[in-house]
Each structure stands twice: as C-alpha cells, then as structure tokens.
Amino acid sequence: MARYGGEASDWIDLSTGINRTPYPIPDLPLSAWTALPTGAELAALTTSAASAFGTGAPILAMAGAQAAIQAIPRLGTPGRARVLSPTYNEHAASLRAAGWTVEEVGDLAALCGADLTVVVNPNNPDGRCQNPEMLLELSERVGRLVVDESFADPVPELSIAAQAGRPGLFVLRSFGKFYGLAGLRLGFVIGHELDIAELARMAGPWPVSGAAVAIGSTALSDRAWAEETTARLLSEAGRLDAMARAAGWSLVGGTPLFRLYETGDAIAARDRLANARIWSRAFPWSEGWLRLGLPGQEAEWERLAEALAPPCAATV
C-alpha cells in the first residue's frame, strides 16, 4: 500500500495460498471468549482433527503449523539438518535459530543420513509432490523426518498422517490455509506419543484459544464442506491456469490452493498486478517465478482477468 497506494479494503491478497472462500464461522458460545478451553474441549478438537486427517496417531493442536515448525527443532540436541528446497523458508530459519547446521538440498535422496530432515508435501511454492511410500522409507534413513502437509487437504492421497505414530516421524497440518481462517492460528502436529508429550509440555496447558477450539472442532467435522471445497478448488485452479496462459505465462506447478507460473520477469508481473491492487508473491532466487493464490468471489476473478488482459492495440 505504501508503494502502490490504496487502502487494505482495496487490495486482493493472492500472495499466500490461503483459501479466499473460507469456512463460514459458526455462532460461538460466550464461553469460547471468556473461559479457558477445558481438557474435554481440547480432546474433542483433536478427535475431530484425527478423523479429518485419517490418523489414529497422537496429535497436538498448536497455534498454527508455524508453532510446530518453531518447536520441533528444540526437541533434543541440535545436529545436522537437511531441508528439501526451495520451499517455505521458515523451516530452515527455525532450525538455524535453534542451533542446527542446515543444508538445503534439491533431491530427496540427498536427505539421507541427516539427524533431522524436512520435506514439504505438496511443496510450497512449486507444488512438487513426493510419493508417500518413499517418505516412509526415508524416515528409516534419517534421525527425524518432518513432513509438512500444510497444503495436503485437497490431496489426501499424499498424506502419511496415518503412519505418523512411528518414532522420529512428524506430520504437520495447517487449518488456516484450506479452511481460509489463518487469523484463527490453529494447526496440528502428529507424531510418536513421547514426542507429542514433550511438545505438549513445551506448548503449555492452553496452546490454542477457545475460539480456535470451537471453530476448529465444527469445521473439521464438516466433511461435506471439505469435499465441496476440494472440488471447487480443483476446478478453479484450472480456470486460473487458463487465464495465466492467455497472459503468456507458463505453469511451473502448484496445488489446488495456489499456482506457480514462469512469467519471464516476475517483478514486472508483480508490479503489473499491484497496479491493479492485486498482491502476488515473487521470489528473490528466481527471476521469472510468480505465485498466485486463487481468487474468491467472482468480482475478484474479474479484477484479475482485467489485470492480466493484454493492453488494447492502439488505433490508427
């Protein structure tokens, strides 16, 4: 806004991959705001999450997947970590902040032998997917394996949450991205019972708010909404790809929640959209890649289409 103008209400933020058609917030009891969550309410939340993620492994609710990303490196003694990259940069940053020696590698096989490894599946920002069986094999060849499934809700076949109870394996799940309620600050870590118990001790007795417990329990139990949203996202991802092709961009990859395009000049493409009050994500390590989340309401799609349309040819 400082650079391109406008107020917050003027902008469409497509830089994050957060669902812009969020889960409808239910009416909350006053106790969600005035009382600390009870043990029974927290247990109901994790039960709903376990059912939604298809796992019977121990699970802990935290203040977003980010809280788990920052906590896991503080388990045990720091050593050698490897992160499959390029990816979400907070993984490497959190490991380094906790004293780990971090190597960022581009191949799954290069992760073997590390004390701790991180794989984002599907990956952010390019949507690269890893075979679940290969990840399970990898977990036997490293000290600890963290699989960040923050964008896996629309592609449940990629998830290894059901196997997360084995020692040394952690699976992270986000709530805010697929359900579009990032401000709620809710996420989950699934893992071995001893690891989850230690993370719970670090997180304290009330790791998430009463509102997060109430909304999360309701939303995660609403499988009809999840199925309808997945179908819509898959369809609209194709719509966004078609618009990008018409603008002369090519698809690099992505997930049903965001797409990554080769634009030739990402900064110019970002500026073009920003002049229409649409924010996107460029990356300092790529001259051409630009990431776009999916618009929400039809008016947002129309604004994006207008911003991507080629300028009218001058008349003579």
Asked whether residue 3 is assigned to any structural domain, the reply reads no
Asked whether residue 25 is assigned to any structural domain, the reply reads no
DSSP alpha helices (H): ranges in the chain?
A: 31-34, 39-53, 65-71, 90-97, 132-139, 193-203, 210-221, 223-246, 266-274, 298-308
Amino acid at 149: E
Q: Give the pLDDT score at 91.
A: 98
Residue 145 sits in the same domain as residue 269: no
Query: What is the reported pTM?
Result: 0.95
Residue 198 sits in the same domain as residue 257: no
Residue 71 sits in the same domain as residue 93: yes
- Beta strands at 258-262 and 250-255: parallel, antiparallel or unpaired: antiparallel
Residue pLDDT, tens place only, 229-277? 999 999 999 999 999 999 999 999 999 999 999 999 999 999 999 999 9
Residue for token pair 């719509």:
239
**End residue of a domain, out of 179, 199, 221:** 221
Q: Give the pLDDT score at 314.
A: 38
For the residues of 227-251, what is the DSSP string, one character each?
A: HHHHHHHHHHHHHHHHHHHHTT-EE
Residue 205 sits in the same domain as residue 233: no
- pLDDT bin (cut points 50, 70, 90) of residue 99 is very high
Residue 159 sits in the same domain as residue 63: yes
With a CB cutoff of 8 Å and minimum separation 6, the contacts of 194 are: 167
Q: Give the count of domains, the chain.
A: 2
Beta bridge partners of 258: 255, 293
Residue 176 sits in the same domain as residue 50: yes
Residue 277 sits in the same domain as residue 128: no
Asked whether residue 81 is assigned to any structural domain, the reply reads yes
The phi, psi pair for 47, rounded to 5°, reads: -65, -45
Q: Is 103 exposed, middle or buried (0-12, 13-18, 19+ CB in 10 A)?
A: middle
Q: Give the pLDDT score at 119.
A: 98
Domain range holding 258? Answer: 8-20+224-308
- pLDDT bin (cut points 50, 70, 90) of residue 310 is confident
Secondary structure of the chain: what % helix, strand, coil (to 5)? 40, 20, 40
Residue 15 sits in the same domain as residue 45: no
CATH number, domain of 202, equals: 3.40.640.10
Residue pLDDT, tens place only, 281-296? 999 999 999 999 999 9
Cα–Cα dist 56/162, whole Å: 6
Residue 208 sits in the same domain as residue 298: no
Which tokens in the block code for residue 237?
């991802």
CATH number, domain of 280, equals: 3.90.1150.10
**End residue of a domain, out of 221, 238, 268:** 221
Mean of pLDDT over the chain? 96
Asked whether residue 1 is assigned to any structural domain, the reply reads no
- pLDDT bin (cut points 50, 70, 90) of residue 312 is low
Residue 230 sits in the same domain as residue 202: no
pLDDT reading at 66 higher than 50? yes
Residue 269 sits in the same domain as residue 159: no
With a CB cutoff of 8 Å and minimum separation 6, the contacts of 75 are: 144, 195, 198, 199
* 298-308 helix and 223-246 helix, angle to the nearest 10 degrees: 20
Residue 164 sits in the same domain as residue 51: yes
Q: Give the pLDDT score at 181.
A: 98
Asked whether residue 197 is assigned to any structural domain, the reply reads yes
Asked whether residue 154 is assigned to any structural domain, the reply reads yes
Cα–Cα separations (whole angstroms), residue 175 to 47, 165, 186, 213, 216:
14, 20, 6, 11, 8
Asked whether residue 15 is assigned to any structural domain, the reply reads yes
The phi, psi pair for 251, rounded to 5°, reads: -75, 125
Asked whether residue 14 is assigned to any structural domain, the reply reads yes
**End residue of a domain, out of 203, 221, 239:** 221
pLDDT reading at 313 higher than 90? no
Mean pLDDT of 68-81: 97
